[in-house]
Amino acid sequence: SRGKRTENACLNGSAIGLPPSTMRYVVVGFTLSVKLRLMSSGVRSFLFQALDSHLTRDGESRRETRRPEARDVRPSDGLASGFTILRVSIPASPSKGEMRVRQSEKNRSQISSRLLSPSVRANISPGVSLGHLILEACMQVMRLSSLLLILFVPTLHAQGKTVAERLGYPASAKLLILHGDDLGVAHSVDAASLAALDAGAISSASIMMPTPWVTEVAAYARAHPNADLGLHLTITSEWETYRWGSVAPRDQVQSLLDSTGTFPSDVPPVVVRAKAAEVERELRAQVERAFALGIRPTHLDSHMGALFPTNDLIGAYIKVAHDYHLPFLATLGNPPGVTNVPLATNDVVLDAVIVASPDVPRDHWKKFYLNAIANLKPGLSEIIVHLGHDDAELQAVMVNHEPYGSAWRQRDYEVVTSAEFKKAIADNHVILVRWRDLAPLLAQR
């Protein structure tokens, strides 16, 4: 109704050749059709006339709407399987913008030919209203009955619950994955991260398969099969004198390597040069190497966010995760520059990811993390830390690179292992969870 927010997503009708303006009414009509099936023919006839009057007024009607505003679709929004929508436009109260809906024989023909079965079309008179056609199409969809229910009802049921509820917690629960990045980079990083895992100071961590100290982490993984260890998929190499390259043969991933045969130091060269097929090849090689070393990864994420900036990169990332049936780091909304994130209906999407940036004052380090814990909202969040010891090894590895360098990692380690930080988690009723806990949700279709 006018001036009232609607929770119906406005789907793009290009897949069936209908304009978005027409699809808006198809979607609304689909929602109404559930109730219409239980109504008498007289009531349905009244609604047909009302909708047609709204669609056509002297050949053309105008309805004011506010410019669509973007809203993130949460997993609880209940979108059906087959529709991958991360951001949708939702009409709000009237404002200056205008939407025109034209009644034409072309629209009638499109709806009739594309949405109605031949048997139904045969019984539709040529002069029937556009509103009647739309609602008749929706009624036909509902008459698909048992097959549609088998395919969609379980999905709608699962997506109607929050991640917390699907894990057996109240909807108001504040779930947190406390996650250590960059295992495998150096012995110092491994020692600090694995000690934090053993102590329960972090709940999860991820491994960089191209790095020199990965076999140390593999030995730990084999000895601790229940540890929550994922893969920090890597196509960059940021340190000045300490470099690595691909796991896949170099001649098969040449677009990922620089002139020295190693990954580039930053993300922009990846965006410019990397070919999607070669990215996917390298990611698969990293997963396969993990299996070969006895690592059974619980999830996937991306080192330096290098797999998030473009449709091709994020597409390769998600495709590999789906093929190996692994949960992966993804948040609500599209990353900047990305227009299509091919999520499946049962993918688990995080509500928030928190990581300290170079802007955080070094003398307020613990305060940053304590505030992050205090401000957590109900839902599933992840705090990413970078652990290590500020020793001679790590200082040499991370020379001339203060952000995320050895002193940075020492501060992170001291915070997460501190009694004050553990008390903040308890006082704010935060529940630590693992990526391993999310894996069963992927089977909920």
The pTM score is: 0.66
Q: How confident is the model at residue 408 (pLDDT cuts 50, 70, 90)?
A: very high
Residue 397's pLDDT is 98
- Give residue-wise pLDDT tens across range 147-201: 333 233 333 334 578 999 999 999 999 999 999 999 999 999 999 999 999 999 9
pLDDT band (50, 70, 90) for residue 109: low
Give 281 or 108, the one with higher predicted confidence: 281
Q: With bands split at pLDDT 50, 70 and 90, how would you rate the model's confidence at 68?
A: very low
Give the residue from 159, 192, 124 showing the smallest Cα distance to 416.
192
pLDDT surpassing 90 at residue 76: no
Beta bridge partners of 69: 90
- pLDDT-derived band at 60 (thresholds 50, 70, 90) equals very low
> In 10 A of CB 367, how many CB atoms?
12
| Residue 250 vs residue 100, higher pLDDT | 250
Mean predicted lDDT score pLDDT of the chain: 77
- What local confidence, expressed as pLDDT, does residue 297 receive? 98
Q: 13-38 pLDDT, tens per residue? A: 433 344 444 444 444 444 444 344 44
pLDDT at 160: 77
pLDDT of the residue at 334: 80
Q: Which pLDDT score is estimated for 37?
A: 41
User: What percent of the chain shows pLDDT beyond 90?
Assistant: 60
* Predicted confidence (pLDDT) per residue in 301-356, tens digit: 999 999 999 999 999 999 999 999 999 999 877 888 888 889 998 999 999 999 99
Q: What is the pLDDT of residue 443?
A: 84
